[in-house]
Amino acid sequence: MQYHPEFDADYIGRMVDDGRWPADQARDLQQADEDPAAAARLNIRPGDLRPEVRLTELRNWLAAL
């Protein structure tokens, strides 16, 4: 999957919930920010979804400009 830290899991889940992605995984993405069990089913560590963690690389890149 392409890495897009500017998008949260819910947004990505809604983007792929159109038949191109398994429906259960799209639903889990939509719920992963709030539901640790949904994140675990996708092998995502809930802490990695926190904005302060998810956006670290983007913030560092902007600071280096």
As a whole number of angstroms, the distance between CA 4 and CA 8 comes to 8
The runs of H, that is alpha helices, within 1-65 are 9-16, 23-31, 36-41, 51-54, 56-64
Q: Which residue has the tokens 């809604």?
A: 14
What integer pLDDT is reported at residue 32 of this predicted model?
A: 95
Which residue has better confidence, 41 or 58? 41
Phi, psi angle pair for 61, to nearest 5°: -65, -45
pLDDT in tens, 43-58: 999 888 888 888 888 8
User: How confident is residue 5, by pLDDT bands cut at 50, 70 and 90?
Assistant: confident
Q: 3-state class of 24 per DSSP?
A: helix
As a whole number of angstroms, the distance between CA 36 and CA 23 comes to 18
| Assigned token pair, 31 | 């719920």
